[in-house]
Structure 1
């Protein structure tokens, strides 16, 4: 029988990028893209994210499977679209929370998890009453780019090594 540390250390699932999006400026609508470049410590090309090693929120990811859950919690007949939740990457097939405290590869790029992507009041204002509560626990993760590269829709998402020194205190 495996111990809890052994179970946490192994992430055998390999996910897949289902959606990519950027916002050229704060508050602008999301633009879906087929391919995007991630830049070391700077986020995604074309996204408004502030560059720099201290920016723990360079890229945001959401679990594709959670779009249907949040839609159902809001009483909708269909899943939400990733663009409505303003996340950069929607991933299917791997539990994003299993990437806590880890580095992971998407396409050519390598990221490290920096924290949870909590819902905000802006979502409630934009999508309607109850959105904040529906999103709790389903908001995804934030990440920092540690190796730049090209990411495409359909690329694999694979867990790598644990982060040895957690500098953000959030992951």
Structure 2
């Protein structure tokens, strides 16, 4: 839920939050973040391990970062997100503070409190920022919504029992039910 105290926030406001309090910033609006539950953590850990294994086996150069990891989507001080999983293939975007620019692939695992954010606000922001592939994993409905923005745009929904092809990596398929 966006905070209403002030019209526009900046990244300085994110860094000024008390220790342990997390928020994201989209177009100057701050969205507070609740701690993830165990199911959420199981999903991002298992999925990131599968992706990392694929990258290692194929001697790829992409890097994987799990939240909380700062992603500065635009060259401004009004956009800061912490995707659950960020896959970054352009190492020039990486610095100690986080990723400057759009990751190649972002995965968000939703909870009831983040559905609107992940399915609409972040979808638009990630698409316009240049993310090549965006997955929304919904453990409640056991579905994965895939958006491919690389080349011809595509959107498909899969169940946890489906084999899902990763658009940015040839030969990588993921079956969520096998990971959990």
Interval of TM-score (by shorter of Structure 1 and Structure 2):
under 0.3
Judging by fraction of residues, say which structure has more helix: 2
